[in-house]
Structure 1
């Protein structure tokens, strides 16, 4: 984890050496009203698998964005909801850093109640290759002490992720 933060520090340092100005500029009225909502529902699988995703984003300034994301998945007798809150900061035209929190909940099939399984802190960086492809490299560190999910499976405490959005 220490190496990851050293890597992020190096990215910030080198991007500032190339003349990038880090001052926040106020948004124009058209940018302030920009609220982005993206919802996706994936096809139901042969075994009844179901997955849905909702992302709501809002620009705070030209470089800073707030994002809320919810992901629902069902597989067999297991249902899980993942909710995250991220801050995204635009370092360069195509490069951004992100940091935030995430809560993962299992839904009890018998009672319908949600049980908090995991709380993560996440950080990473993203690069927009072109208008149709976004790559993000991130790290999630578990901060609570729960042992595992309802099936007894131990949840990994720390995860590196590579995500592509197209």
Structure 2
């Protein structure tokens, strides 16, 4: 009689074990599951269990987040893989090449921020006549005196 191709019991890990081994909080794992990034099965007691290979998917998600990808983009990348397969080194290489431009853009942005930071005193009022971060060329002076930006965003951008 042929055996089913189902992982044996020792290949399934509880949410606590996955959280401990991955360093990701159980609440984040539940969120990842809600977003379709990882999957689990339920025991008779309705407890989540994950296949051991879920650890690799979680590592993939974390690495992609560090690149600056949104979870929806990460899901798209994972969805491009064959069903129920963890990302391989080759997968990561192929997918990460598409993210290279984004990294270069972030690096340039950080370099501009670093280079403009010397004119900022970090007061938070953003009413300086020359704020290279938020008020380059004092464009906010047209809107009147005082702080023009209060957690609302940068007008005109």
Give the alignment's TM-score, normalised by structure 1: 0.21
Flag the structure with larger Rg. 2
Give the alignment's TM-score, normalised by structure 2: 0.21
